[in-house]
Amino acid sequence: MNSDPSRDTSGGEWWRDAVVYNIYPRSWRDTNGDGHGDLSGVVERLDHLAWLGVDAIWLNPIMPSPNRDWGYDIADYTAVHPDLGTLADLDLLVEAAGQRRIRLVLDLVPSHTSDEHPWFRAARSDRGSPFREYYVWRTPGTDGAPPNNWLGYFGQPAWTLDERTGEYYLHTFLPQQPKLNWWSSRVAEEFERILRFWFDRGISGMRIDALQTLVHDRTLRPNPAAGDRDTPLERRLGQRFLRSGAQPETHGFIRGWRRIADSYTPPRLLFGETWVPSVDDLAPYYGDGSDELGLAWNLPFLGCDFTARSLRAVVERTVAALPPSAWPAWAMSTHDGEGRAATRWCHGDPAAARCALLLLLTLRGTPILYYGDEIGMTDAVDTPGSGRRDTAETAAPRDRSRTPMQWAPGPGAGFTSSPRPWLPVPGADAPTVVEQRAAPGSVLSFCRDLITIRRRHHELVSGAMRFVPAPEGVLAWERGDGDFLAVVNLGPAPAVVTRDTADGEVLIGTDRHRDHQTLTDQVSLAPYEGLLIRLTRRPAADSDRSRESGRAS
């Protein structure tokens, strides 16, 4: 077993300083020509991530699975899917990443298993099986009806009748994903063992899937109707998932996991997928800021409009709602239904994509890049006969944001030599790493240079942050003690931000021709243009002019 490479880097809550890079392993790099990405492909492309400036990699599920939900239906929690490699390959990845000072975070799915997991196979073999308590079973009503009105996240009833044993079992997602019963102490003990297995192997943290579904209401009370403040999915299905999840006992389990994570040196990260409608619902998953999650998924930020008003409101509400010692996480793209920011926010416009990256990488908190964000990779177009793999009934096909990484022009896009990749590769006009590395004005060059600047200036990582006044459509915020100013024009018209207390130098602009410009009292911005400015305070005698609307000070 390999030693933990993260022990050679700085201790403490390392994720506060990190840029995290999310990889969907099947779509990253295929090294054996079978059309599926693999762990050897992650090793092969580590130098790209080191060059980019990434501090940690988060891999979507790598554990054995029949792939009814593409890895989120786990059949073995302490092994690697054969399509992706072996435990030895994972050990090699941990070691190779550690040599580049890059940590590795895995996806863990504690809410449910695959129906092919040995636990469930044993549970459904006999009502007297000791594994029966690992899952949630109920006898049918007098009319054969399910126990209550609960729906799953894919819109189907949350109960399936097991003909073999004559009882319903609960599932929050597909019927092939039976829900684990966290009211059983044996389930909790299993996952403590699973966490230690991976942490002992050198894994630096876990992203915990569907955390809000972990614990269900023990008495199976019905879910209420959805209201205006609930998630879009809940409103679409007409039901708020109040009793089928989101129970207060969840926090006790998180605190137990945190004690395990903190027993390692350096501490292991717990990053929760907290799929909740508001940051007020998100904040409790941090506990007191140090005893539950280290990072939590911010769905309200991911789902907001790409406008100055919407983004500022979500960021300010997040900062206000979280405990003082908690640390926010920011992501703009995802492997799930929300898809890629370059499509959802930027509509394929590289200038807008650079603005989105400037926002993501200069907010106070941990930025999470999804593979391809650094080149402005867009969602694929879902067309008939395109080889769709995602069979779940979701509002938007998830395949569109899981297509192969675009490494180079040509057949296979540098992803695979197979004529049949697991998902279609992009067309000839898609952006690629090879082309953008050679272009100083590209999205990739901008992303890499911005990460480099972020790393050089601790104020951009751990410094204070506050929004400052700006014209309509413009977002402006200071980092540190007024040391840096970031401005982004997300409106359709040119804008001017006026200042009377500081001059500055442009450290980086989304239009690279503006790099190193000296600015005085006015910052002019074209539509979808952003600047990161290092400020120099003027003497008080030079700051005697009063400004009208649009004044930022």
Domains of the chain (ranges; CATH) run 5-112+185-455 (3.20.20.80), 118-170 (3.90.400.10), 465-542 (2.60.40.1180)
Q: In terms of DSSP bridges, do strands 529-537 and 502-509 run parallel, antiparallel, or are they unpaired?
A: antiparallel
Q: In terms of DSSP bridges, do strands 522-525 and 495-498 run parallel, antiparallel, or are they unpaired?
A: antiparallel
Round to whole Å and give the CA distance between 266 and 245: 32
Burial 454-474 (b: 16+ CB within 10 A, else e): beebebbbebebebbebbebb
Q: Please give the span between the terminal C-alpha atoms of the chain, in angstroms, as a whole number.
A: 55
pLDDT per residue as tens digits for the range 254-276: 999 999 999 999 999 999 999 99
96 dihedral zone (left: phi>0; alpha: psi -120 to 50; beta): alpha
The 3-state DSSP class for residue 252 equals helix
Report the candidate in 202, 201, 198 with the shortest Cα–Cα distance to residue 5.
Answer: 202
pLDDT per residue as tens digits for the range 517-534: 999 889 999 999 999 999
Catalytically active residues are: 209, 273
pLDDT value, residue 426: 85
Average pLDDT over residues 87-102: 98
In this structure, the chain runs to a length of: 553
pLDDT value, residue 394: 60
Question: In Å, what is the CA distance from 284 to each residue of 71, 107, 127, 274, 516?
Answer: 28, 21, 37, 10, 43
Average pLDDT over residues 99-127: 98
Cβ contacts of residue 183 below 8 Å, gap of 6+? 215, 218
Q: In terms of DSSP bridges, do strands 20-23 and 56-59 run parallel, antiparallel, or are they unpaired?
A: parallel
Instruction: Sort 304 into a burial class: Cβ within 10 Å, 0-12 / 13-18 / 19+.
Output: middle
Question: In Å, what is the CA distance from 254 to each residue of 189, 192, 517?
Answer: 13, 11, 48
Q: Is the confidence at residue 535, as pLDDT, over 50? A: yes
pLDDT per residue as tens digits for the range 401-444: 999 999 999 999 999 999 999 999 988 889 999 999 999 999 99
Q: Which long-range contacts does 500-503 make (Cβ < 8 Å, 24+ apart)?
A: 500/543, 500/544, 500/545, 500/546, 500/547, 500/551, 500/553, 501/537, 501/538, 501/543, 501/553, 502/535, 502/536, 502/537, 502/538, 503/535, 503/536, 503/538
Name the pTM for this structure: 0.94
What is the overall mean pLDDT for the chain? 93
Report the Cα 321 to chain-centroid distance in Å: 20
pLDDT value, residue 396: 60
